[in-house]
Amino acid sequence: MDLTALIDDIVAAMARETERGTVASYIPELAKVDAGQFGVAIATADGRLLTGGDADTGFSIQSISKVFALTLALGKVGDQLWDRVGREPSGNAFNSIVQLEQEHGIPRNPFINAGAIVVADVNLGGHQPRVAIGEMLRFVRYLAGDDAIRINEEVAASETATGYRNMALANYMRAFNNVRHPVDLVLGSYFHQCAIEMNCRQLALAGRYLMLDGRHPEGGRVVSPSRARRINALMLTCGHYDASGDFAFRVGIPGKSGVGGGILAIVPGRAAIAVWSPGLNTSGNSALGTKALEMLARRTGWSVFSPPEVHQG
């Protein structure tokens, strides 16, 4: 398959879309972004990088950072992490707080906010937030092979000022001793992690280890094959909030979305894909991003649920 032509088709199709969703408004800095943008980048297993649309425009990766933070935390504490965070889909936001109460402060998975706050608590590891933030930034730069990646301090500050729900969650879990550092340090670190700014090109590159069974394309291992598969599994079952099942059903590949409008998607052995468009659908995932990935999956046959020989990419 000619991926270049396919990318052109996708960019053209997205330009024609009229249902473009709504830009997230609860983080004031994010609300300023122009909704008319769309970018896509595909890093293939054979080393190519193909891009289209606004692939060089930076955006706030937000919850996509949870994938990288989870990878780091597993490196620090290994499977002990799973004593403090579950691996099950969470249902809607309403259910996630109900379940947090029922399940004694153990969040359902590391990709809902409560779970990501516990991961941030693990990554803090007794250090100051700036140490943990520095480590996270170096890790993402290493994955993408790009030292230009930075944190948008305005976005981080914007979250700090409005993140009352996250403060509620963190205090709630602290009552169960499942957050162990002072809440303001944990959230300071967490908000900075979410405020990492990347473009589609950088994000696709940063995701390559997950298509390569844990290997860094430049050599060496980021994680073991088993761990890479498990992170992919979590992305498939929990990566799109309460639309995770629908994304698995319609697109059929692991993906993690962020409220900034980005989605990182992984086709094991084939491709790491980044799409971005800031308008969100009612489930809080990028409206055009989801459509673009559905179109890409349909045209390439890249579903983890189809026989490998069907793949066209």
Binding residues for substrate: 63, 113, 159, 166, 190, 241, 259
- Neighbouring-strand partners of residue 272: 43, 266
CB-based burial, 68-92: b 16+ in 10 Å, e otherwise: bbbbbbbeeeeeebeebbbeebbee
Minimum distance, C-beta of residue 102 to a second copy, in the bound complex (Å): 7
The answer for residues whose C-beta is within 8 angstroms of residue 275's C-beta and 6 or more apart is: 38, 39, 40, 200, 262, 263, 265, 286, 288, 289, 292, 293
Instruction: Pick from 252, 258, 278, 284 the residue near a second copy by CB under 8 A.
Output: 252
CA 210 to chain centre: 12
263 forms part of the interface with a second copy (CB under 8 A)? no
97 forms part of the interface with a second copy (CB under 8 A)? yes
- Judged by CB under 8 A, the chain residues 274 through 313 that form the site for a second copy are 298, 303-311
Q: Which residues are annotated as a binding site?
A: 63, 113, 159, 166, 190, 241, 259
Nearer to a second copy, 26 or 36 (CB): 26
Instruction: Pick from 147, 168, 224, 312 the residue near a second copy by CB under 8 A.
Output: 168
Concerning whether 63 is annotated as a catalytic residue, the answer is: yes
221 forms part of the interface with a second copy (CB under 8 A)? no
Q: Are 74 and 213 in contact (CB under 8 A)?
A: no
- Rounded Cα distance, 23 and 41, in Å: 21
Minimum distance, C-beta of residue 306 to a second copy, in the bound complex (Å): 5
- Rounded Cα distance, 35 and 288, in Å: 10
User: Which of 53, 12, 49 is closest to 275 using CA atoms?
Assistant: 53
Catalytic residue of the set 140, 241, 251, 256: 241
Structure tokens at 38: 């769309």
167 forms part of the interface with a second copy (CB under 8 A)? yes
Count the residues in the chain.
Answer: 313
Concerning whether 66 is annotated as a catalytic residue, the answer is: yes
Give the binding-site size for a second copy (rule: CB under 8 A): 65
Chain residues that interact with a second copy, rule: CB under 8 A = 45, 86-92, 94-95, 97-99, 101-102, 108-109, 164-165, 167-172, 174-175, 183, 211-213, 225-226, 228-230, 232-234, 236-238, 242-246, 248-250, 252, 254, 268-270, 298, 303-311
Catalytic residue positions, numbered = 63, 66, 190, 241, 259
